[in-house]
Structure 1
Amino acid sequence: MGRLMALDYGKKRTGIAVTDELHLIASGLTTVATIDLMEFLQDYLAKENVEVFVIGEPRRMNNEPSEAEEYIVPFLDCLAKVFPEISIVRQDERFTSKLAVQSMIDGGMKRKKRKDKALIDEISATLILQAYLNKKI
């Protein structure tokens, strides 16, 4: 059984989270520069078995896709071509950045650390993955 991997895809950075092999726990893995994402994924997948990519789906409050979707769709096409054996699913990512910051506050993280956008992206990916896991239960 392979891991599930969530990607909070952005123009500059992509937050990444993974599950354990039993799909019980979502954990933040890292944040990488989006320009380096495919190389990172190829390296990671050479060492780890991933069976599903969970990609954040940005939506507006009226449930229409946000403007970010226009640069995510070409990435999804590329991802499917490079890793055809790995399923791709989408997960609503509304409010994940706000929830990430709130979880940092609740955890007692200092203000300077809470401004770390890379950490926010990683936590957002973890929240996307956890929401997907919760939906599967």
Structure 2
Amino acid sequence: MGRILALDFGTKRTGIAVTDELQIIASGLTTIDTKDLLNFLQEYINKEVVELFVIGEPKQMDNTASQSEKYIKEFISKLQKNMPNIKIERVDERFTSKMAFQTMIDSGLKKKQRQNKALIDEISATLILQNYLYSK
């Protein structure tokens, strides 16, 4: 059984989370500059077995696609060309950034640490992955 890797895609940086090999626990992996994302993923799958990418799907409150969706679709197209054997699923990511910020507060992080946008992206990816696991 391979890992599931989740992405909180952003135009500048992308949060990444991954499951254990049994696909039970979602953990934050890292945040990476989006321009380096494909190379990072290629290196990662050369070391680890990944069976699925879960990519956040940003939506407006009225359920329409957000403005960043076109960039995500472009990335997904590149991802499918480079890694055609790995399935891709989408998960609604509404409120994950707010939930990530609240998680930081609840865990006792100081204000300075909560301003770390990369950490928010990584926690958001973890929440996306947890939501996917719960829905399975």
Task: Verify same fold: TM over 0.5.
Answer: yes
CA distance in 2, matches of 1:88, 1:114: 30
**Unaligned stretches of 5+ in structure 2?**
none
SS in structure 2 of the partner of residue 103 of structure 1: helix
**Unaligned stretches of 5+ in structure 1?**
none
Q: Which residue of 2 aligns with 1:114?
A: 114
1:56 matched to 2:88: no
CA distance in 2, matches of 1:63, 1:73: 17
CA distance in 1, matches of 2:129, 2:118: 17
Q: Which residue of 2 aligns with 1:80?
A: 80
SS in structure 2 of the partner of residue 15 of structure 1: strand
Q: Which residue of 1 aligns with 2:34?
A: 34
CA distance in 1, matches of 2:21, 2:85: 17
Counterpart mapping for 1:2-21 below 5 A: 2-21=2-21
SS in structure 1 of the partner of residue 38 of structure 2: helix
CA distance in 1, matches of 2:106, 2:36: 32
SS in structure 2 of the partner of residue 80 of structure 1: helix
CA distance in 1, matches of 2:107, 2:130: 18
SS in structure 1 of the partner of residue 17 of structure 2: strand
| Matched residue type, 1:87 | K
CA distance in 1, matches of 2:50, 2:56: 17
Question: TM-score, normalized by length of structure 1?
Answer: 0.98
TM-superposition CA deviations, 1:75-127 (whole Å, max 9, x none) = 00000110000000000000000000000000000000000000000000000
Q: Which residue of 1 aligns with 2:45?
A: 45
Counterpart mapping for 1:92-111 below 5 A: 92-111=92-111
Q: CA deviation at 1:70?
A: 1.1
CA distance in 1, matches of 2:39, 2:85: 17
